[in-house]
Amino acid sequence: MNVKVRFAPSPTGSLHLGAVRTAIFNYLFAKKNNGKILVRIEDTDKERSSNESLIEILESLRWLGLDWDEGPIKQSNRLEIYKAAADKLIDEDLAYRCYMTQEEVNLLKDKAKAENKVYKYPNTWREKKENPNGRDFVIRFKTPYQTKINFNDTLRGNITIDSSTLDDFIIIKSDGFPTYNFASALDDAEMGITNIIRGEDHLSNTPKQVLIFNSIKKKLPNFTHVSMILGKDKTKLSKRHGAESINSFKEKGYLPISIINYLARLGWAYGDQEIFTLNEMISNFSLDNLSKSPAVFDSEKLSWVNNIQIKNYPNSELKERLKLEFIDGVDEELAINAVKEKNKDLNELQKSLNFCLLTNESYENELINELDNQAVSELKKFIIVWEEKKPKEIEEIKEVFTNYLNENEIKMKSLALPLRILLTGTKSSPGIFEILKILGHEIVIERIKKFIKNNEK
RNA sequence: GUCCCCAUCGUCUAGUCUGGCCUAGGACGCCGGGUUUUCAUCCCGGUAACAGGGGUUCGAAUCCCCUUGGGGACGCCA
């Protein structure tokens, strides 16, 4: 059987971590099994859906590199299909029109609340034959009485629900739009989805969808309900838990692979391995070793993963991704390597590179102005030796440097610190030998001379 | 409240299906030490868990039951 999965986001906000993780699992599963991925936009809530959200979600998916084969298909463009399907169910006496008004429903809900019960539609219109003309109606599914609803979940095994715990749920709203449970099940059936991989929060919707599948005589897909991601307080991840849209992670300097790696590893494991390439994840992925219990999101571990992934990321791609423009003559490879070792995210990495980037030639700051006369005279002496010896390779630089220190009985720190500040404008930077090599002879001399000149005025 | 799902270090997890190799392994974090010209990195060491109670068995983290705890769902939201 050819595998086909779907991402089915609803465009009511930005793409969140939970949604991304299920997208990742779908992606890995599809790629592993040479399957197809469909993107379906579940925009059946007229009020809350927006085009901005849709655009942002698709952009986030693309940014992550989670590409798809089919779609995006918008459910709002398929209204006639759902309508026709619902009418057919009415003809077959599997669904019916309900003319109960919103006010009547609210009354029942209030009453239930007052009695400390949960509202359940009392099937008022289930057997009524009248058709009040011109009144708004919804279409409800005729949930069979006293039936066991069965389905299989990859992770949780056989699940049986008694139909008495369900009510006659709405499949078409009064505005003519289908509800989630109806549209989703219908589409999954019609679009030939073989595996539904989604969050555990949908587990209790599944019986309703199974009823829909059965009523249109379609074979059930394989269900996999993945555990939820929880916040630090162990409740469902939400706005309270801080920035959680993918966009915000992008802005905070995370690599797509870091997010994919971390999120995949949250609820899935392959032995003791922590760091994966995309291909490693694909080839080792399997649905049946997903964790069944919810997982708490840990931003510190994400940050660690990001750090490692940055280190593993090819320099050329890093240069391209960050649009790095180096000053002429700079040893780019060494610069990137030196800075990769130290940084936790892309933003910091770029900042550490400022001293050798074209875009930031004004690297000077107040630190440089704070250098004292001692430093000035020290550098004056040093530059003479430096100009004369012209060391190029790291080893030569090191030799010239240490020889100079020994001959003049100067401590490493008293020369290295001012030099570092002068050359990079910051107190924290790669090693001083690396700095000298990265900038190269010409730039080093230029910067020292400029500094001396400025301080002689 | 009703229904469903789940349960190993603070967190993510390996081990559970197919009981013995588990005096429970790895990782993040934290603590301590080392390397170092700065900030980091890096290296070494340490910390810490089978929710509780009953079974089954020669033997249980692993199988069964109960309790407890956690999560989710109960919308003309998805």
Of A10 and A393, which is predicted with more confidence? A10
Q: Give which of A253, A192, A204, A195 is closest to A228, Cα–Cα.
A: A204
Average pLDDT for A102-128: 87
How far does the CA of A304 sit from the C1' of B30, in Å?
A: 15
Closest residue, by C-alpha, to the C1' of B6:
A293
Q: Work out whether strand A170-172 and strand A138-141 pair parallel, antiparallel, or are unpaired.
A: antiparallel
| pLDDT at residue A368 in the model | 65
| pLDDT at residue A152 in the model | 92
Question: Is the pLDDT score of A364 beyond 60?
Answer: no
Question: Which residue has tokens 């309508």?
Answer: A83
A53: helix, strand or coil: helix
Average pLDDT for A293-316: 94
ω into A256 cis (within 30 of 0): no
How far does the CA of A433 sit from the C1' of B35, in Å?
A: 17
Element containing residue A416 per DSSP (H, E): helix A412-424
**ipTM for the complex shown:** 0.93
State what percent of residues in chain A have pLDDT above 70: 95
A411 touches strand B (CB under 7 A): no
Please state the φ and ψ torsions of residue A23, each to the nearest 5 degrees: -60, -40
Question: Is the pLDDT score of A392 beyond 60?
Answer: yes
A265 touches strand B (CB under 7 A): yes
Gap between the Cα atoms of A290 and A391, Å rounded: 56
Report how far apart, in Å, the C-alpha atoms of A289 and of each of A26, A70, A201, A268 are. 14, 28, 19, 6
Average pLDDT for A125-129: 85
Gap between the Cα atoms of A352 and A343, Å rounded: 8
Q: Which chain B positions come under 7 Å from a protein C-beta?
A: 1-8, 10-15, 25-29, 36-42, 70-78
Nucleotide nearest to A305 (CA to C1'): B28
Residue-wise pLDDT for A245-303, tens only, equals 899 999 999 999 999 999 999 999 999 999 999 999 999 999 988 999 999 999 999 99
Instruction: Read off the tokens for A30.
Output: 């599809």
| pLDDT at residue A167 in the model | 92
Instruction: Read off the tokens for A423.
Output: 């050359």
| pLDDT at residue A456 in the model | 67
Alpha helices, DSSP H only, in A252-363?
A: 256-265, 278-284, 299-312, 315-321, 332-340, 346-352
Residue-wise pLDDT for A48-63, tens only, equals 999 999 999 999 999 9
A94 touches strand B (CB under 7 A): no
A178 with A86: CB under 8 angstroms? yes
Report how far apart, in Å, the C-alpha atoms of A446 and of each of A7, A281, A335, A442 are. 56, 49, 19, 6
Beta pairing partners, A260: none
A136 touches strand B (CB under 7 A): yes
Count of Cβ atoms closer than 10 Å to residue A272 Cβ: 5
Question: Which residue has tokens 């040479």?
Answer: A34
How far does Cα A265 stand from its chain's mean position? 13
- Strand B, CB < 7 A, residues 354-383 of A: none
Identify the band that residue A67 occupies on the pLDDT scale cut at 50, 70 and 90. very high
Environment class of residue A397 by beta-carbon count within 10 Å: exposed (0-12), middle (13-18) or buried (19+)?
buried
- Neighbouring residues of A291: CB distance < 8 A, sequence distance ≥ 6: A227, A267, A268, A269
What are the start-end ranges of the E strands in A241-386? 295-296
Taking each helix axis as running N to C, give the angle between helix A17-32 and helix A51-64, from 0 to 180 degrees, rounded to the nearest 10.
50
Environment class of residue A95 by beta-carbon count within 10 Å: exposed (0-12), middle (13-18) or buried (19+)?
buried
Question: Is the pLDDT score of A438 beyond 80?
Answer: yes
Instruction: Read off the tokens for A156.
Output: 């949780």
State what percent of residues in chain A have pLDDT above 90: 56
| pLDDT at residue A446 in the model | 79
Question: Which residue has tokens 């095994």?
Answer: A157
Terminal Cα distance for chain A, rounded: 81
Question: Is the pLDDT score of A4 beyond 70?
Answer: yes
| pLDDT at residue A151 in the model | 93
Of A291 and A406, which is predicted with more confidence? A291
- Strand B, CB < 7 A, residues 158-197 of A: 159, 161-162, 165, 170, 173-175, 177, 179-181, 184
pTM, two decimal places? 0.92
What are the start-end ranges of the E strands in A101-169? 138-141, 148-153, 157-162
Domain annotation for chain A: domains and CATH numbers: 4-76+229-303 (3.40.50.620), 78-226 (3.40.50.620), 313-457 (1.10.10.350)
Report how far apart, in Å, the C-alpha atoms of A322 and of each of A134, A326, A330, A351 are. 61, 12, 17, 11
For residue A317, give the amino acid letter.
Answer: E
Average pLDDT for A159-170: 92
A168 with A123: CB under 8 angstroms? yes
Question: Is the pLDDT score of A361 beyond 60?
Answer: no
